[in-house]
Amino acid sequence: MGRTKISISLSEEDEKTLRMWANAGTIEHRMAQRASVIILSAEGLSLPEISVRTGISPQNCSRWRKRFAEDGIEGLNDLPRSGRPMSIPPEKRLETISLACSVPPDGSNNWSTRRLAEATGISHASVNRILNEGNLKPHKVEYWCGVSPDPEFEAKQAAVLGLYLDPPDNALVLSVDEKSQVQALDRTQPALPMREGNPKRLTHDYKRHGTTCLLAALAVHEGTVDGRCIDSHTHEEFLAFLKYLHRKYPRKELHIILDNFSAHKHHEVIEWAEKRRRITFHFTPTYASWLNQIEIFFNIFTRDVVKGGVWKSKKELVDQIMYYIRKYNEERAHPFSWTYTGKPLTA
């Protein structure tokens, strides 16, 4: 006698639930596979075809089809077995995952595991376990380089990369920008130095002694840095710095890479540069200041100097910055290994 053919039809609600399970990634992988078996069966695929697509043997595909035909979605759950029963059903796990990937309704930007526990009604430890299984980290944010809307992105990018990878003869490529709002922060009590088992410790409260702005130029192919601290980053201060660079390198063509900050494009700055045959400006594309290598140095500077610093006055901060740049040039300066060569960015 031939095997009875099982016909699967889905209600709108069942199909919605099964597709949510099937697209749940690695979470409850066996449930995602079982849901896929039922969806493909409803679409009329044969057992061998379903087996190839889901990775489940034809015998097991047949078993889950039969269970669904008899008991509906409940039939896809594991039968009770000896030992501790599963405390959190797949539906609750998927609800927790869906909630963790959504925007909280209380005005915050990210869920904490404790607030997820309150919202779902399960324990904090269970929420942690569910998120870990799915490699989900609501507290973590990563940044990426978005696509620039600049219509001249390709041309501007190519000009900058050309200077990095194949500079003109007798030319100096300078990457220039400002690191603004560097605060001279003092603490209300002395810092406690790092010791075994404890990091360096600072009081949470502080005193402000003003701010400074570091205006710097990185010689791209030497790795050295010229810098000065200024009170405000106006076009006057920027133009004075350019004049200093022009005097410092009297026999070099200067190719200066800049972002689109207004002081860099001020008409007095542009007019001055246009009258100097040895100076050429190259502006990075809009929202692509990451193409400017001075940003790499600023990251190093922030890590080495700004983070965790304590200063009794603005002068003390400025003195340390200039000392740091001098020692950096003497002991650590080297060209950065630039790896981006113009590969298209995608949204």
pLDDT tens digits, one per residue of 300-311: 999 999 888 888
- Using a 10 angstrom Cβ sphere, with 0-12 exposed, 13-18 middle and 19 or more buried, the burial of residue 90 is buried
Distance between CA atoms of residues 344 and 197, nearest Å? 46
- Confidence (pLDDT) at 264: 96
| C-alpha angle 262-298-216 in degrees, rounded to nearest 5 | 55
Instruction: Give residue for tokens 């003092």.
Output: 186
Domain 153-331 indexed as CATH 3.30.420.10: yes
Q: What pairs with residue 228 in β-bridges? A: 215
H/E stretch holding 87: none
Q: In the prediction, which pLDDT does 133 show?
A: 79
Q: What are the tens digits of pLDDT across the range 167-178? A: 998 899 999 999
Distance CA 22, CA 55 (A): 13
In which element (H, E) is residue 101 found?
none
Residue 142: per-residue pLDDT:
66
Identify the pLDDT of residue 86. Answer: 56
Tell me if residue 56 falls in helix, strand or coil. coil
The pair of three-digit structure tokens given for residue 117, joined into one six-digit string: 């526990």
Cα–Cα distance between 259 and 73 in angstroms, integer?
A: 58
Instruction: Point out which residues pair with 229 in neighbouring strands.
Output: 214
- Cα gap 64→56, rounded to integer Å: 10
**Residues β-bridged to residue 281:** 256
User: Residue by residue, what is the 3-state secondary structure of 265-310?
Assistant: HCHHHHHHHHCCCCEEEEECCCCCHHHCCHHHHHHHHHHHHHCCCC
Q: Count how many residues are written for the chain.
A: 347
The confidence score (pLDDT) of residue 347 equals 47
The pLDDT value recorded for residue 2 is: 47
Per DSSP, the three-state class of 169 is: coil
Q: Read off the tokens for 181.
A: 């709002």
CB-CB contact of 173 with 257 (8 Å): yes
Q: What letter represents residue 161's amino acid?
A: L
Separation of alpha carbons 36 and 327, rounded Å: 63
What's the mean pLDDT when you consider all of the chain?
A: 85
Rounded-to-integer distance, Cα 47 and Cα 102, Å: 37
- Listed as ranges, residues in the chain with pLDDT below 50 are 1-2, 26, 347
The pTM assigned to this predicted structure is 0.62
CA angle 148–254–169, rounded 5-degree value = 100
Are 171 and 252 within 8 A, CB to CB? yes
